[in-house]
Amino acid sequence: GAGVSQSPRYKVAKRGQDVALRCDPISGHVSLFWYQQALGQGPEFLTYFQNEAQLDKSGLPSDRFFAERPEGSVSTLKIQRTQQEDSAVYLCASSLATPGTYGYTFGSGTRLTVV
């Protein structure tokens, strides 16, 4: 597709429920990133993939957060046993793995509300 697609656009989860957020990057983009954005804050890095390899997961806030990209294209961010503090917009971005090229292309995000 022409851009990065994220689904669902909005998700309401009851506390304790598991959720799965999907990201379809731009075709051919090797790098894929997940960010978490709380209201009024800048995006916070969660994790990074190069193809199917998860090279950096230092930003995942707890072991309830898990991300995968098994075939090097679509990625899923899973949050187990959701808590109210998980409420945020989750942004996915992809990029070419070439220095000095255009920056990330972000999706519109998934707004997760835990009630």
Partner 1 sequence: DAKTTQPTSMDCAEGRAANLPCNHSTISGNEYVYWYRQIHSQGPQYIIHGLKNNETNEMASLIITEDRKSSTLILPHATLRDTAVYYCITQKTSYDKVIFGPGTSLSVIP
Residues that bind partner 1 (CB under 8 A): 4, 30-31, 33, 35, 41-45, 48, 50, 56, 59, 91, 93, 95-109
Using an 8 Å Cβ cutoff, are 104 and 28 in contact?
no
**Distance in Å, CB of 99 to partner 1, minimum:** 4
- What does the angle CA 41 – CA 103 – CA 97 come to, to the nearest 5 degrees? 125
**Distance in Å, CB of 102 to partner 1, minimum:** 6
Nearer to partner 1, 20 or 59 (CB): 59
Nearer to partner 1, 84 or 101 (CB): 101
Q: How far apart are the two ends of the chain, measured CA to CA in Å?
A: 33
Using an 8 Å Cβ cutoff, are 89 and 111 in contact?
yes
